Amino acid sequence: MSSWMDRYQGETKNTIDYLRYYRLDDPAKSKELLHQLLKTGEAEHDPALLGFAHFYLSQIAYFADTDISASLQEAAIAVRYLENADAPFTLANCYDLLASLCFHNDMYEAAAEYLLKGISLCGKIDFLYEQANMTSILADLYTSVGAYGKAEELLQKSSRLFEQAKEDPLAFIADINWRILNNRISLLNCLVNDGRMDQVETEIKELRAEIEKLPHGDVCMTLYYSLCFNYACKTGKQAEAAECLEKLISSLSQGEEMVEVGFALIPVLQMVYASKNKTWIQMSDPLADRLITRGTTYSLKIKLLLSRWSSIRADHPEAAADLMNQMAELSAAKDRQEQEWNLLQIEETVSMYEANQKADEWMNQAIHDELTSLTNRRGFEQYFQARTSIIAKEKKPFAIGMLDVDHFKEYNDHYGHVAGDMVLQNVAEVLASCQHDNLIAARYGGDEFCFFAYDLDQPALEKALQAFQQKIRDLHIRHEYGGKDGLISVSCGAAFYAGSDRQPDLQECFKDADQVLYQIKRNRQGCFAVSRCTLKIPEKQ
């Protein structure tokens, strides 16, 4: 599929290609390259490149540095840029990451907003894999507030989308199978938490066999043991729960990164501390320490410390007091993070508003004539093209007109270019005063102007042109070297087209109007004529 990345060449393209595949292999080098891309993006006012760079910096902060706060900030900046760029697939990936970060920081409203934006975008661009992934995260969001029925529905939908995503020739089937199994684990956890134990035990046994077939099923197996522990605890099977906990901790001791499974382990550890089973707690403390020092968010660290505090406060008051101090420090850090987030949101909103305002100014300058302030030819063509489908669909009549100032060269030669510019400005002011919703005028070039009238019949158009020419005469601008009656005059030729379902071609319409103007200039300058014309099929170049 084509991508916004395809438009880059040379060093920028090589940098982008390297980062797409190897950004996490050498984080330090990748950061250096990404900061170079930021400079390029800023110099070229390129929101896609800026968004791409901030998105990858967010990924590195999350996966390589496990700096959740930095990742959150970079992802928020990336989304701001990408929402103003033509990079929908990168934007969808960024919505996914930012939603996950917000969710695990207890920013549920922001998480839901980004997930819904991302799911909607993926549906429009047929990005089934990412749509399935974000639907799964939305299910986790519902699970966290106890809405297990809604979560179950979303997990089933996510798995269906993953199955459809397999049809993509570029799909990584092993990864999709892994995510489908993760959905099944989450679904079974919903059933257990909701007290619906029917067939759960059978499903759990079948699930293990499927996980063992995965080429890289370590993370999935860790989540599976979490499910087994949850099920055993909820059904009162203490011995089985102890065995699952031991296997879970053993699987993590083999080097699994906390950032990949840490969020799923918090409920397990909360159950461990709530049980006050000293053996379990002793087994789990090292795992809890790893999570607290690395690999999860302030919110989840606080929840984990609170669970540990509840389990020891009666028997170990001093240790409990120390935990309270740690929670206070983390809470203060969380508050600072939220303040930084809110400030970032405000700054980015203001920055984007100012950038949009500047872009609007540039666009306005690009489609308006500097001398007369009328729409220029480029703007006129854009306006016309935007209405061609309406013209054909509704079969409305329209007209294209050409106007020029009579003997303008002689006027310039005798009165000077400054005076000539003033004439053009006066004519433009009269044209601007004649504009309304269905009539737009523009400077075509030199002393020539044009107009487009839409949904006006021929008598109404002729009346409008007659009024325009009277206003020109009322200016009383002297022209003793060729003007009509010693005054500046303007000739006008208009091509009028009855309603048709054929798409009009502007260049052919200009030719028709120019022919009418040519006849007027030959026979009676300072007048106007409207000629009924037929839409032509443009000649092939």
Position 92 scores a pLDDT of: 95
Q: Are 90 and 125 in contact (CB under 8 A)?
A: no
Q: State the residue for tokens 């030959």.
A: 522
pLDDT digits (tens, 9 = 90+) for 265-313: 888 888 988 888 889 988 888 888 887 776 567 777 888 888 888 888 8
Q: State the residue for tokens 């294209």.
A: 400
How much is the average pLDDT of 105-109? Answer: 84
Q: Which residue has the higher pLDDT, 44 or 158?
A: 158
Look up residue 484 and give its DSSP letter. B
Q: Which residue has the higher pLDDT, 538 or 225?
A: 225
Parallel, antiparallel or unpaired: strands 448-454 and 439-445: antiparallel
Cross-strand partners of 470: none
Residues of the chain by 3-state class (helix, strand, coil), percent to 5: 70, 10, 20
The pLDDT mean for the chain works out to: 86
Q: Are 292 and 301 in contact (CB under 8 A)?
A: yes
Q: State the Cα–Cα distance between residues 476 and 153, nearest whole angstrom.
A: 77
Task: Give the model's confidence band at 232: pLDDT under 50 very low, under 70 low, under 90 confident, else very high.
Answer: very high
Q: What sign does the CA torsion over 435, 439, 445, 446 have?
A: negative
Position 349 scores a pLDDT of: 66
The closest of 508, 294, 273, 506 to 382, measured between CA atoms, is 506
Position 497 scores a pLDDT of: 92
pLDDT digits (tens, 9 = 90+) for 63-84: 887 788 888 889 999 998 999 8
In Å, the largest CA–CA distance within the chain is 111
Give yes or no for residue 254 having a pLDDT over 60: no
Q: Which residue has the higher pLDDT, 312 or 346?
A: 312
Q: State the Cα–Cα distance between residues 425 and 39, nearest whole angstrom.
A: 42
Supply the DSSP string of 415-477, one letter for each residue.
H-HHHHHHHHHHHHHHHHHH-BTTEEEEEEETTEEEEEEES--HHHHHHHHHHHHHHHHTT--
How much is the average pLDDT of 409-432? Answer: 93
Distances (CA, A) of 83 to 33, 88, 171, 451: 23, 8, 26, 36
Instruction: Kindly state the tokens that stand for 346.
Output: 């405000």
Q: Which residue has the higher pLDDT, 540 or 340?
A: 340
Percentage of the chain exceeding pLDDT 90: 44
Position 127 scores a pLDDT of: 93
Amino acid, res. 220: C
Q: State the Cα–Cα distance between residues 375 and 439, nearest whole angstrom.
A: 12
pLDDT digits (tens, 9 = 90+) for 488-508: 999 999 999 988 888 888 999
Give yes or no for residue 345 having a pLDDT over 70: no
Q: State the Cα–Cα distance between residues 78 and 498, nearest whole angstrom.
A: 50
Q: List domains and CATH numbers for the chain.
A: 377-533 (3.30.70.270)
Q: State the Cα–Cα distance between residues 159 and 161, nearest whole angstrom.
A: 5
Q: State the Cα–Cα distance between residues 97 and 100, nearest whole angstrom.
A: 5
How much is the average pLDDT of 31-44? Answer: 93
Q: Which residue has the higher pLDDT, 384 or 485?
A: 384
Position 360 scores a pLDDT of: 67
Residue 393 CB contacts under 8 Å (≥ 6 apart), including other chains: 501
Position 1 scores a pLDDT of: 41
Q: State the Cα–Cα distance between residues 491 and 402, nearest whole angstrom.
A: 8
pLDDT digits (tens, 9 = 90+) for 174-205: 889 989 999 999 999 999 998 888 778 888 88
Report the range out of 113-127, 163-177, 185-199 with the highest average pLDDT: 113-127
Q: State the Cα–Cα distance between residues 65 and 56, nearest whole angstrom.
A: 12
Task: Give the model's confidence band at 58: pLDDT under 50 very low, under 70 low, under 90 confident, else very high.
Answer: very high
Position 541 scores a pLDDT of: 41
Percentage of the chain exceeding pLDDT 70: 93
Report the range out of 329-343, 398-412, 524-538 with the highest average pLDDT: 398-412
Position 340 scores a pLDDT of: 76
Position 35 scores a pLDDT of: 95
Give yes or no for residue 415 having a pLDDT over 70: yes
pLDDT digits (tens, 9 = 90+) for 6-16: 888 888 999 99
Strand order, beta sheet including 448-454: 439-445, 448-454, 398-405, 490-497, 528-533
Q: State the Cα–Cα distance between residues 531 and 524, nearest whole angstrom.
A: 15
Q: State the Cα–Cα distance between residues 90 and 82, nearest whole angstrom.
A: 8
Position 451 scores a pLDDT of: 95
Give yes or no for residue 455 having a pLDDT over 90: no
Give yes or no for residue 257 having a pLDDT over 70: no
Position 404 scores a pLDDT of: 92
